[in-house]
Amino acid sequence: MLSATGLPVIEATSFVSPKWVPQMADQVEVMKGIGRKPGVSYPVLTPNLKGFQAALKAGASEVAIFGAASELFSKKNINCSVEESLQRFEVIMKAAKEAGVPVRGYVSCVLGCPYEGKVAPEKVAHVAKRLYSMGCYEISLGDTIGVGTPGSMIEMLEAVSKEVPVNALAVHCHDTYGQALANILVALQMGISVVDSSVAGLGGCPYAQGASGNVATEDVVYMLHGLGIQTGVDLSKLMDAGAYICRTLNRKTSSKVAQANCKL
Amino acid sequence: MGNVPTTVKHCLSYEQLIQDYPWLKRWLQEEKTITGHEYPEFVKIVEVGPRDGLQNEKEIVPTGVKIQLIDMLSGTGLPVIEATSFVSSKWVPQMADHSDVLRGIQRAPHVRYPVLTPNMQGFKDAVAAGATEVAVFGSASETFSKKNINCSIDESMLRFEEVINTAKEQQIPVRGYVSCALGCPHEGHIEPSKVSEVAKRLYAMGCYEISLGDTIGVGTPGSMLKMLQSVIEEVPAHALAVHCHDTYGQALPNILTALQMGVCVVDSAVAGLGGCPYAQGSSGNVSTEDVLYMLHGIGIETGVNLAKVIEAGDFICNALRRKTNSKVAQATGRTL
């Protein structure tokens, strides 16, 4: 359904071990089962070489790797230091280059860490720079716990844009504290033109139980269209996809646009 | 802040600070530049939860609870708390206890407690109950005006003129509201020029501040910018406030846009009280907690203690047996 909305990129699945992420255990069937729309990319997460090889075998034509700007988060989340993870990624980058597969890099905890608290913008810039120089074509900067505000977003982007050109940056804002759209707005004002979001705001926050996580694609598109910015996305088709997944998951949408529209 | 100690600063309201340190006003209005965008040093929060919030809640709240909510809010540092509305209880039963509420609250020094007064009758009742500041409610949409207060915009202006003139004689300041500033549930798109026309009239009549309301929350930073550009030609930015509804999740970016245009007064409601009567089940007012979190994160002073506002929000949500609409309150209530 998302493939029909005009979205240019749809992150399809994750080739992480099902022991850690059981929700993505059907990664191969999903990859093989979707009807790929021409012109749309379907990147998948690949945390290590094994995952990369499995992804390629399942037909992936773009992959993503996930670094962190916080040492503690890296250790607790993927069981190694930031430096060790970057070395793992170098291995994937080499294989991806040989296979002609583009790689997107993520940096998590860019505006705060659930364990370390404040994260220095210079640390974010350092990790972003490493991923970019390794060959990632785009670096997505994630406010993993949604604590960022326009103040900290600007500070962080100023540091990162000194190391990575702004046209290779994306923002991945969580709406846990309701700040996502405001943060995205200032990122746009700083020249960022790639935004990550999730239909219906799917995905809660594992660090603040009951709180929201990803920003809702519907709400982002509503704002961008209101600003006169083109996205190529059909908002009503997007809302259909959101309604479908919420019905299936038996949960309310986290998108305010969807909530407002279905009851007028 | 130079010579004023931080602790003292937080105890005083903005108005008191300006009285004691006349040089401060100019200093505070100097803008703070963050990468080409300027933000005010200080933003005044106008807390509308007890009025706009409770007026739009399904459950009618007992007088004692209203008073307790306002008393709790009075202890947070909020400089303005809209206490109640002197509208006929036939139309707004939730505010039927207006006089009891106004008489029952413990007024904190340096906090203002404006009340809505749609006409002379309401104004007289408000003054009799001890009101020291009032507000009048205009609309940028003819259809909304007719359906909401049963008269045209022009007719409503005549009514307000009477209230404002009488208020002037009694030295009672009047705040003006313009609803449907970014869209109307009946007319749809609203021309920015219509908003500026109504804002200009209210300002010229003597309202000290005009609060521009995105009544159905359909506005985006795009339409907010266009509307403010038009209004600022007629009313100076320092006399403007924004009253954003979060029905489409756009309130915070809209407020941010307004701040970038020099507006430094923001209306909000604790716990995001008050749904949207035009989109059933949807949210209405933006949450004071979420606004504060954003402003403080940008380094803007408000004088408000966020933790105390969250407490007041918890109190009223328990009393209403409903969940908070504030994401900050939701997140801080349950962290691991």
ipTM for the predicted complex comes to 0.94
Interchain CB distance below 8 Å, B248 and A219: yes
On the question of pLDDT at B314 being above 60, the answer is yes
The verdict on B254 touching A (C-beta cutoff 8 Å) is no
The verdict on A152 touching B (C-beta cutoff 8 Å) is yes
Q: What is the structure's pLDDT at B7? A: 45
Q: What is the structure's pLDDT at A150? A: 98
Confidence of residue B20 (pLDDT cuts 50, 70, 90): low
**A72 chain-B contacts, CB cut-off 8 A:** none
On the question of pLDDT at B261 being above 60, the answer is yes
Interchain CB distance below 8 Å, A185 and B287: no
Mutation test of the interface with chain A: which of B330, B334, B336, choosing the one with the most A Cβ atoms within 10 A? B330
Domains and CATH numbers, chain A: 2-261 (3.20.20.70)
What stretches in chain A show pLDDT beneath 50?
A: 263-264
CA distance B288 to chain A (A): 11
**A152 chain-B contacts, CB cut-off 8 A:** 297
pLDDT digits (tens, 9 = 90+) for A54-80: 999 999 999 999 999 999 999 998 889
Q: What is the third-level CATH fold of B37-332?
A: TIM Barrel (3.20.20)
Instruction: Give every strand in the sheet of A44-45, ordered side by side.
Output: A13-14, A44-45, A63-68, A103-108, A138-143, A169-173, A195-196
Confidence of residue B4 (pLDDT cuts 50, 70, 90): very low
Interchain CB distance below 8 Å, B331 and A146: yes
The token pair that represents A7 in the structure block: 């979205």
Interchain CB distance below 8 Å, A179 and B299: no
pLDDT digits (tens, 9 = 90+) for B90-110: 888 999 999 999 999 999 999
Q: What is the structure's pLDDT at B25? A: 55
**B257 chain-A contacts, CB cut-off 8 A:** 185
For residues A197 and B4, the model is more confident at A197
The verdict on B163 touching A (C-beta cutoff 8 Å) is no
Q: What is the structure's pLDDT at A77? A: 86
Q: What is the structure's pLDDT at B336? A: 33
Give me chain B's average pLDDT, please. Answer: 90
Q: Active site includes A262?
A: no
Q: What is the structure's pLDDT at B57? A: 83
On the question of pLDDT at B12 being above 70, the answer is no
Domain boundaries of chain B, sorted by first residue: 37-332
pLDDT digits (tens, 9 = 90+) for B195-215: 999 999 999 999 999 999 999
**B242 chain-A contacts, CB cut-off 8 A:** none
CA distance A164 to chain B (A): 18
**B287 chain-A contacts, CB cut-off 8 A:** 178
Interchain CB distance below 8 Å, B281 and A264: no
Number of cross-chain residue pairs from A and B with Cβ atoms under 8 Å apart = 133
Q: What percent of chain B has pLDDT above 70?
A: 88
Interchain CB distance below 8 Å, A259 and B276: no
On the question of pLDDT at B52 being above 60, the answer is yes
Those residues whose C-beta lies under 8 Å from the C-beta of residue B114, and which sit 6 or more positions away, are B80, B82, B83, B131, B133, B134, B135, B175
**Could you say which of B220, B255, B327 has the minimum Cβ distance to residue A212?**
B327
C-beta pairs of B187-195 under 8 Å, 24+ apart in sequence:
B187/B141, B187/B142, B187/B143, B187/B144, B190/B140, B190/B141, B192/B226, B192/B227, B192/B229, B192/B230, B192/B231, B193/B230, B194/B140, B194/B141, B195/B140, B195/B227, B195/B230, B195/B231
Among the listed ranges A207-211, A224-228, B139-143, B178-182, which one has the minimum average pLDDT value? A207-211
For residues B37 and A244, the model is more confident at A244
**Could you say which of B35, B221, B326 has the minimum Cβ distance to residue A190?**
B35
